[in-house]
Structure 1
């Protein structure tokens, strides 16, 4: 059975498909999939697999002219010996559903999503048109935001995506990792009588955590950015790249946490004040197992922090290649270093550039970023390839890299997306 669709734009094609699957679920009671996609390049056909529309099992495919387009839509029985006819009752029913899906494109339902997220500290109270946060405990925050979707199933997928994007952005704003709270807390009367005054981050925040009154705080522009991000189903290319950079940062932060946030150090003077004593204590027992995996987390985190900066340099960048050799004239390494120079002081920018070089050696030459020959205390040695001239045991200071990266990302979005944050 063949139905003409004639949608050339790829975004519109996906919008039609989202509307279609929701309409089929409404019409037939369900729209499940044995999703086994493959592309017939010669025949310009994409096969999705077998759809369970109520009691009917149907093979579904589309034909295309250019990538991302839908010229025709095909429904047929999986058993090739039997063909679904357009003038059959099922064929006419599907035809009506397809027409309705075309008419209803963009007619979303609004769903309110409420989730709980967890971190080392709760997020302070914030309320905008599309976002609200409230403290539940010393670690847990309840957040609410709307999602626009065609049905419950698609709402669930979009809600997970939006929640992850929110947590990724909050990690960049605050320097701490976030997780979805695995066991939702019950809201008691005590937890509702919490801070109801919005607190904002200092503009020059860079080191440690973004804290006020034992709550994590974001900037006023960060609050506006959250509102804009949540209110947009169709995220433009620049915003999508920035959110991808936030994802890389947040993933790095979670690896970083497994080394740097497990143990803490308290410095106290001895009773006779003759020496400084260092006590080690457990900051977060949840990270104990991961801590035992070792310093490989340091290398993974370093790589991902630098990847976040690489992604940001793609925003607004138009690749210019040499006519003679075909190589890109403006390398990623150079773009990252210029980004660092723009937002950091010269010393910090030089350090980050050095880290970038070491990260490249780790990826492409197999160099190790952590001490390959650890000892109880440092043993000074020479290294002719290191910029210090020594074999310093830590090649990349991950906590410094984390703070420099998040500082650059914060300043970048405030400048690049200034028109939507005013």
Structure 2
């Protein structure tokens, strides 16, 4: 990284010379936080527009009558070479120049300003968990707490939203119940459709009992294995280009399948074909989780890569339950 010195072309043009996508994202997140701290305000009108190797980010309001038109210039994809602030409104040139230069220099050292917080979220009112805690994660009742890293309160809140939904996906995979936060459509539907579910013996087909559907979401238990995985997931540095492993992506789709399967059994009057969407999500989850099972082959005729998706999925199904490969082929 360079030192934020001025470049030719304008008084508010600063060279930064970033070398990677991660450096660029960390720099910009930290820069917005440092600007908010410096000016006491940073309100955005985002209007990103790419012209050649320049991206016009939008307009940042830093005072009652002062705003900045901000542009980023790239020399290589994902790596900011310079940032240009074009001020308008009422401002003192020298003071604003000094403040922006200071913000840029601070943002070039983001590790000095990163901080760890523990954000809390409320789950769907129907859901409750037994207590489980790890270094970066805890859950008890309808409250879930996760570690996030950010540069100010707003950045931490953004990162919390980015991470909490994936943690809910992991919990869905672990409990086979769709886990979601409060104030969602799923929560509203559950509140209005708490019908009786019959419990059926899988071997005899006989009804063994009944339970209110929403009670199936209470007193849930997170397995130790999943708690450990969530903890390690939250410990990873955030990868802007490829943050999710194949397992993580598969779990995302599996969770959507669980949600749609649940909604398919409720007479909501909604037009979506939830059962079909559930099947598609489940099959897609299987396809992704098998991506590393076999190396792709090269077609002798056209030279294209052959990934053998259907074969990988049916092999996985047969490995789990004998004979299920043929059943899965039907989808």
Separation in structure 2 between the aligned mates of residue 317 and residue 31 of structure 1, nearest angstrom: 50
Question: Are residues 1:7 and 2:51 paired?
Answer: no
Question: Are residues 1:61 and 2:57 paired?
Answer: no
Structure 1 counterpart of 2:47: 36
Deviation at 1:105, TM superposition (A): 3.5
Separation in structure 2 between the aligned mates of residue 325 and residue 125 of structure 1, nearest angstrom: 56
Q: Please give the residue correspondences for 1:237-256 in structure 2 after superposition, counting only pairs within 5 Å.
A: 237=242, 239-256=244-261
Equivalent residue in structure 2 for 1:336, among 289, 304, 313: 313
CA 67–319 in structure 1, closer or farther in 2 if over 3 Å, else same: farther
* C-alpha contact (below 8 Å) 1:50/1:78 kept by paired residues: no
CA 152–320 in structure 1, closer or farther in 2 if over 3 Å, else same: farther
Separation in structure 1 between the aligned mates of residue 31 and residue 285 of structure 2, nearest angstrom: 36
SS in structure 1 at match of 2:102: helix
Question: Are residues 1:48 and 2:57 paired?
Answer: yes
Structure 2 counterpart of 1:72: 82
- How many pairs are equivalent? 289
Deviation at 1:252, TM superposition (A): 2.0
SS in structure 1 at match of 2:307: coil
Question: Are residues 1:110 and 2:86 paired?
Answer: no
Structure-1-length-normalised TM-score: 0.62
Deviation at 1:308, TM superposition (A): 1.7
Per-residue Cα deviation, 1:380-416 (whole angstroms, up to 9, x for no partner): xxxxxxxxxxxxxxxxxxxxxxxxxxxxxxxxxxxxx
Deviation at 1:120, TM superposition (A): 5.4
**Structure 2, gaps ≥5 residues long:** 1-11, 185-212
Separation in structure 2 between the aligned mates of residue 31 and residue 316 of structure 1, nearest angstrom: 48
Structure 1 counterpart of 2:198: none
CA 182–351 in structure 1, closer or farther in 2 if over 3 Å, else same: same
CA 47–231 in structure 1, closer or farther in 2 if over 3 Å, else same: same
Question: Are residues 1:354 and 2:312 paired?
Answer: no
CA 238–143 in structure 1, closer or farther in 2 if over 3 Å, else same: closer
Structure 1 counterpart of 2:156: 155
SS in structure 1 at match of 2:323: helix
Q: Which has the larger radius of gyration?
A: 1
The answer to which structure has the higher strand fraction is: 2
Structure-2-length-normalised TM-score: 0.77
Question: Are residues 1:231 and 2:232 paired?
Answer: no
Deviation at 1:341, TM superposition (A): 3.3
Equivalent residue in structure 2 for 1:311, among 278, 288, 308: 288
Separation in structure 2 between the aligned mates of residue 309 and residue 182 of structure 1, nearest angstrom: 30
Deviation at 1:40, TM superposition (A): 1.1
Per-residue Cα deviation, 1:176-211 (whole angstroms, up to 9, x for no partner): 11221239xxxxxxxxxxxxxxxxxxxxxxxxx9x9
Structure 2 counterpart of 1:19: 30
SS in structure 2 at match of 1:129: coil
Per-residue Cα deviation, 1:340-363 (whole angstroms, up to 9, x for no partner): 334x122223212322xxxxxxxx
Deviation at 1:123, TM superposition (A): 2.0
Separation in structure 2 between the aligned mates of residue 149 and residue 67 of structure 1, nearest angstrom: 24
Q: Please give the residue correspondences for 1:59-138 in structure 2 after superposition, counting only pairs within 5 Å.
A: 59-77=69-87, 88-105=94-111, 107-118=113-124, 122-135=128-141
RMSD: 3.1
Structure 1 counterpart of 2:278: 301
